[in-house]
Amino acid sequence: MKIAVIGRSGQVAQALLERGAKQGLEIVCFGRPSLDLADEYSIVRALSSLQCDVVINAAAYTAVDRAESEEALATAINGRGAGAVADVAAKLGLPFLHISTDYVFAGDGKEPYSESDMTGPLSAYGRSKLAGEIAVMAANPRSAIFRTSWVYSPFGSNFVKTMLRLGETRSEVSVVADQVGSPTSAFDIADALISASRRIVAEPTNKDLFGVFHLTGTSEASWAEFAEAIFAFRASAGQPMVGVKPITTADYPTPARRPANSRLSCKKRELI
C-alpha cells in the first residue's frame, strides 16, 4: 500500500513516516514548495504524479493564537486548502483521510463530545478547522475525518517538549488547571490512520469507514495534571523534580479562547 501524506514536518506526518517504514509501507510526504494548500494546481500536479492508494492530509495552520489576527490565512489553509485536496483525491478516485481538532467544539459541555454533538468553535483556528471539515465532506464522500486533541511527540512543537524545556531552568511552572482533555500520541494517531487506510483499501464500499470520528488518548487530565505527569516521568529518569502551580484560564489570558472541556468520546471509532 502506498500512502500520500500532505504535510512533511508536522508531528503526525513524521509519525506516519516512522510507523510506515516499520510496517513496510511506502509513505510519500508532500510539503511546500512542491505542494501548497493554497495552490490547487500544485495539489493536482503532486497527486497525479503519484500512483497511491490513500491520501492523508496531515498539514494545517496550527498557530492557534496567531490565527486570531490571521483568520483569512488560517481558513485558506485549513478550510479551502483541505477541501481542495479532498476534491483532487475524489477526481483521482482516492479515499481521503483528514485530521481535525477538538477546537471545533465550544467546550462548555459536561460530558465528552460525540461526533454528532453540535459544534461551536470559540477561536479563529477552530472556525478554520470546522470549515475544513465541511469542505472535505462536500468534496469527497469517501473521506474519514479524525478529530484529535493535545497531540504530543518527539517532533515539532508541543506541550510535552515545552514543559521539558521549562523544566531545565525552573523549579516551578504555572499551568492552567481548568481546561481538561486527552493527551494523544502522534504515533497512536499514525497507527490509527494506517489501520483505517488498510480497511478502506480492503473494503472500498464500506460506508461505515467514512464520516467523522474521534481519535484521542484514553486518559483524561487538565493541562496542570499533564504537566505533573511529565515532570514525574522526568524525575524518574534522574532529573530534579519540577513543581506545578495550578492556575485558571483567567490567570493566563491568550488571544484565542480554548475549550474548557476538550474531551472527545471515541466509542464510534472503537466500533470499526
Q: Strands 54-57 and 143-148, how do they pair?
A: unpaired
125 in active site? yes
Cα dihedral 58, 138, 182, 105 sign: positive
Q: Among the options 41, 125, 152, 252, which is catalytic?
A: 125
Q: Which of 75, 67, 100 lies closest to 262, judged by CA?
A: 100
Cβ-in-10-Å burial (0-12, 13-18, 19+) of 44 comes to middle
In angstroms, the CA 263 to CA 95 distance is: 28
Cell readout for 50 is: 503519484
The answer to whether 58 and 16 are in contact (CB under 8 A) is yes
N-terminal to C-terminal alpha carbon distance within the chain: 20
Q: Strands 180-181 and 221-222, how do they pair?
A: antiparallel
Cα dist from 156 to 15, 184, 248, whole Å: 11, 15, 27
In angstroms, the CA 84 to CA 107 distance is: 29
Cell readout for 261 is: 472541556
Active-site residue list: 125
